Structure 1
Amino acid sequence: MNSDDLTFDTGLLAPIWAGSPAEAATGDLAFLRAMLDAEVALARAQAAEGLISAGAVKDVTTAADALAREGTRTLALLARSGGNPVIPLVKALTKHAPEVHLGATSQDIMDTAFMLVAARTRAVVTADLDRTAVALARLAAAHRDTPMAGRTLTQHAVPTTFGLKAAGWRELVLDARDRLNAVVLPVQLGGAAGTMAAFEALVPRVDERRLLAGFAAQLGLAEPRLPWHTLRTPVADLAAALAFVTGALGKMAADVLVLSRTEIAEVAEGTGGGSSALPHKRNPVGATLIAASARSAPALAAVLFGSLAAEDERPSGAWHAEWSPLRDLLRHAGGSAAHAAVLAEGLRVDAGRMRANLDLTGGLIVAERLTAVLTPAIGRREARHLMERASLRVAADGISLRQAVLRETGPGDLDLTDLDELCDPATYLGSAAALTDQALTRRPAGDHDA
């Protein structure tokens, strides 16, 4: 075992994101690169406004490239004395680029780096959400007319189709994608207390708005209306969108977990996982990990919403509390999206088992339909009572609903010439096919620029 094994988090306890694109996009090296990119972008924007020279920009760029190759461990340890990693980062850069970080504060760089990491992670999350949506569209179209039991409060309710279920999953995935891409990710640039005063001290009558616009343009991020050191709308919006991503994917996972139970067995993951003790098991591991993330994310988002209550112009603690949960949220959303794409692309659907499960209750799943059909002839109240008695007969005598209805009504009491069709769950699907078709007309909303 080497020293790296003792100090570095390799994702051993986080199979949801270990090895995912989001892992690389949110690692310590990614944050180091983002902080350095922010410093270089600020230098370029300042040079454009005459605050520093072109030579100074070159010095900052060269120093940043060199520091990027040194790794993060030393910075992490040095960050303990000042409370954030920007302080030792700037100290290291200043040795070779004395005009780096002029007028900025640590939070300017750290917040900007977080938004940059979020933007880069959002791109990989969106790609996996797109894959998931495409796979679910295929499933919905292929099973547009595949009947299955609709379940409410764990029990059979009325028939539905697997196509409509898959279309519903896709709807949530697209909702998640659109919400995530609608989040505005701005740069941060306010100086020590959000007044940008130091920039004017460097160059009187400097155009701060133009400086800010140039900084944002360099990084492909949005230009904020105000410094947001303690106005944490961007972080709260991002937290909400990321938590929604995990929850939306969690709905699909929750359904897969139920439908893949041994006694239901209507779906199965394409690559089920094994068990350390039971050689016969093929566990729905992908759905399990997604479901776990969906349960973890709300608590992480809650920390970020709590940080909205930040005191003064720059806070002590509220800002610092954001870092770990925000990174974890990015990782959970990214890992969940990656697993969801694999899950949707490989999901196996057993239409025969769905039909067999529809028949488990002997036709009780269409009791609502028969009640509605009988109502015009005998009234709503009597129709309900008749169906309640028939349902009890099904359970007590082990007969079908069709047989029970015939026994309850007696020969010639009612016109039941269509009873066979009325008792067939596959003919009581309502508008499921049309709803599926309508859902599949939806396309993802256009991407937000930043």
Structure 2
Amino acid sequence: MSQLYASLFYQPQVTEIFSDRALVKYMIQAEIALAQAQAEVGVIPVSAAVVIAESADSALAHLDFDSLAVATGLAGNVAIPFVKQFTAFVKTLDEDAARFVHWGATSQDILDTACILQCRDALTQVESLLQQCFEMALTQTQAYRHQVMIGRTWLQQALPITFGHKLARWASAFQRDLERIHSMKSRVLTAQLGGAVGSLASLQQNGSAVVDAYARNLGLSKPSCTWHGERDRIVEIASTVALIMGTLGKMARDWSLMMQTEIAELFEPTGKGRGGSSTMPHKRNPVAAASILAAANRVPVLISSLYQSMVQEHERSLGGWHAEWLAIPEIFQLTAGALTRTLDVLTGMDVRADQMRANLECTSGLIMAEAIMMALAPKMGRMQAHHLVEKACKTAVEQKCHLQTVISELDEVKQYFSSEQIQQIFKPESYLGNIQAQIDAVLQDAAGERK
């Protein structure tokens, strides 16, 4: 990603986790854990594992990244030239220890494990941002739970809701996303160590014991068997992150539509240089929404490549595995960036309550047609009530008057309801159904989650 666009789409901590330098650092971590595990089991000398572990910090500074980049293009993956350079560096410290670097492992073991370590740390960042979005959505839900606005279906005015209800739905989605992350961790954050074809034949009878110690040293789950060719763990991680991205895209779509000039119910936070136009001084553009929606457009394409890459050949694949290296970092970076911008909007959004109220009246009462129909239905039957109110709506539109005026003059209505009762029926606040109960349920679920 160009530095010019990084601040628009990415988040610094997650970007750093997927940097070239960080990837190599994670590979070193995997190599050290491997050596330590093998020393614990007695496969290699303890002295060799100590030297390999002590080389970690200084090795990173001595590796030649330019040479790695060139060699990766020739080798087919970065692990092969990395192991050569890392081994050469360890050799400068202890020639005997260098003999045991990468003992019994294959390139994919180190790269897959490094990828899982990256995902673990990136998930920590994503989860933190998601939790903050969740908490802020709950705060705003409580603040606006009684703020009546129009609900829209098919982009048309439908029935009254409250802004707090919209926020509660967002908060509920955030909570489900948090639960997904929590539930998958033990299943997907799993070490990879299988050797050439997954049999760890190079370690003879010590394979299982080394895998156990290797996973424990890394703080990862131990696999029951090698998963070189079975990529469901990687895809599940990415899919969960992509679901978060889809949730954020839906929210950004909502508030960007609410920012339209003719709607003007909600605005992103203001700031110097934010949301302006190069030609039109009056513009206040939804720049956070634009960034999030662009990411929400991009991530599904990346996810589809991961699903396609699950169809791999035999024990280790050609091409499918490689496609993950392009998709995983981008999915995480775009989602972390979108979470950052969503949190900013949720925290500082500019809510226009007066405009929400004004928009409730722009149809001259037509949005309350269902309310009066349902009030009449027990008196005359639903179909007759529907026909009566539908006709009244057409009259109101033709005469350009308020639906309440037309309804109040109908003898079929006056025999059942007084003018005061009709007036009450036409109040949007009187037709909110169980919205407050739903909000309470979301808040209670959140309270249970915090315990």
Give the TM-score band, short-chain normalised. Answer: over 0.9
Asked if residue 145 in structure 1 is aligned to residue 146 in structure 2, the reply is yes
Selected match of 1:75 from 49, 56, 68: 68
Asked if residue 360 in structure 1 is aligned to residue 359 in structure 2, the reply is no
Equivalent residue, structure 1, for 2:159: 158
Q: Which amino acid aligns with 2:107?
A: S
TM-score by length of 1: 0.92
| C-alpha deviation, 1:108, in angstroms | 0.2
Equivalent residue, structure 2, for 1:222: 221
Asked if residue 186 in structure 1 is aligned to residue 190 in structure 2, the reply is yes
Equivalent residue, structure 1, for 2:405: 403
Distance in 2 of aligned mates of 1:190 and 1:363: 69
Distance in 1 of aligned mates of 2:318 and 2:234: 17
Q: Which amino acid aligns with 2:429?
A: A
| C-alpha deviation, 1:312, in angstroms | 1.2
| C-alpha deviation, 1:444, in angstroms | 8.8
Selected match of 1:278 from 277, 280, 290: 280
Distance in 2 of aligned mates of 1:161 and 1:71: 59
Distance in 2 of aligned mates of 1:37 and 1:75: 18
| C-alpha deviation, 1:83, in angstroms | 0.5
| C-alpha deviation, 1:322, in angstroms | 1.2
Distance in 2 of aligned mates of 1:11 and 1:19: 12
Q: Deviations over 1:78-135 (max 9, x none)?
A: 1111100000110011112231100000000000000000000000111100110111
User: In 2 relative to 1, CA 81–424 (structure 1 residues): closer, same or farther, beyond 3 Å?
Assistant: same
Matches within 5 A, 1:168-207: 168-183=169-184, 184-200=188-204, 205-206=205-206
Equivalent residue, structure 2, for 1:238: 237
Matches within 5 A, 1:80-119: 80-95=73-88, 96=91, 97-119=98-120
Distance in 1 of aligned mates of 2:8 and 2:220: 28
CA contact (8 A) 1:122 1:181 kept: no
Equivalent residue, structure 2, for 1:21: 13
| C-alpha deviation, 1:59, in angstroms | 2.6
Instruction: For residue 160 of structure 1, give the secondary structure of its aligned residue in structure 2.
Output: strand
Distance in 2 of aligned mates of 1:343 and 1:181: 25
**Of the two structures, which has the highest relative contact order with CA contacts closer than 8 Å and spacing of 6 or more?**
1
Q: Which amino acid aligns with 1:188?
A: Q
Matches within 5 A, 1:273-352: 273-352=275-354
| C-alpha deviation, 1:146, in angstroms | 0.8
CA contact (8 A) 2:407 2:413 kept: no
Distance in 2 of aligned mates of 1:330 and 1:126: 11
Q: Deviations over 1:205-245 (max 9, x none)?
A: 32x22211211121111111111000111112112101101
Selected match of 1:421 from 397, 419, 424: 424
Instruction: For residue 142 of structure 2, give the secondary structure of its aligned residue in structure 1.
Output: helix
Equivalent residue, structure 1, for 2:210: 211
CA contact (8 A) 2:10 2:338 kept: no
Asked if residue 443 in structure 1 is aligned to residue 446 in structure 2, the reply is yes
CA contact (8 A) 1:32 1:72 kept: no
Instruction: For residue 420 of structure 1, give the secondary structure of its aligned residue in structure 2.
Output: helix
Gaps of 5+ in 2: 92-97
Instruction: Report which stretch shifted further, 252-261 or 378-387.
Output: 378-387
Selected match of 2:32 from 40, 61, 76: 40
Distance in 1 of aligned mates of 2:226 and 2:447: 32
User: In 2 relative to 1, CA 103–446 (structure 1 residues): closer, same or farther, beyond 3 Å?
Assistant: farther
Distance in 2 of aligned mates of 1:119 and 1:262: 42
| C-alpha deviation, 1:395, in angstroms | 1.5
Distance in 1 of aligned mates of 2:29 and 2:8: 28
Distance in 1 of aligned mates of 2:349 and 2:343: 10
Q: Deviations over 1:178-199 (max 9, x none)?
A: 2123332111100000001111
CA contact (8 A) 1:22 1:121 kept: yes
Equivalent residue, structure 1, for 2:390: 388
Distance in 1 of aligned mates of 2:12 and 2:150: 35
CA contact (8 A) 1:104 1:192 kept: yes
User: In 2 relative to 1, CA 298–135 (structure 1 residues): closer, same or farther, beyond 3 Å?
Assistant: same
Equivalent residue, structure 1, for 2:43: 51
Distance in 2 of aligned mates of 1:71 and 1:252: 44
Distance in 1 of aligned mates of 2:105 and 2:447: 38
Gaps of 5+ in 1: 1-8
| C-alpha deviation, 1:71, in angstroms | 6.1
Distance in 1 of aligned mates of 2:250 and 2:344: 16
User: In 2 relative to 1, CA 52–45 (structure 1 residues): closer, same or farther, beyond 3 Å?
Assistant: same
Equivalent residue, structure 2, for 1:3: none
TM-score by length of 2: 0.92
Asked if residue 61 in structure 1 is aligned to residue 62 in structure 2, the reply is no
